[in-house]
A and B are shown apart, each in its own frame.
Chain A
Amino acid sequence: GQQLNQSPQSMFIQEGEDVSMNCTSSSIFNTWLWYKQDPGEGPVLLIALYKAGELTSNGRLTAQFGITRKDSFLNISASIPSDVGIYFCAGFIQGAQKLVFGQGTRLTINP
Chain B
Amino acid sequence: GAVVSQHPSRVICKSGTSVKIECRSLDFQATTMFWYRQFPKQSLMLMATSNEGSKATYEQGVEKDKFLINHASLTLSTLTVTSAHPEDSSFYICSATSLGSYGYTFGSGTRLTVV
Q: CB within 8 Å of B: which residues of A? A: 31, 33, 35, 40-45, 48, 50, 88, 90, 92, 97-104, 106
Contacts and interface: CB of A to CB of B under 8 A. Distances in A.
Contacts, number: 48
A24 B23 CA distance: 31
B105 interface: yes
B104 A33 contact: yes
Contacts of B54: none
B96 to A, nearest CB: 11
A99 B109 contact: no
A3 to B, nearest CB: 10
A45 B102 contact: no
Interface in B1-33: 4, 6, 32
B44 interface: yes
Contacts of A40: 91, 109, 111
B49 A98 contact: yes
A100 B44 CA distance: 9
B86 interface: no
Given A50-B102, A97-B32, A42 B43 contact: no
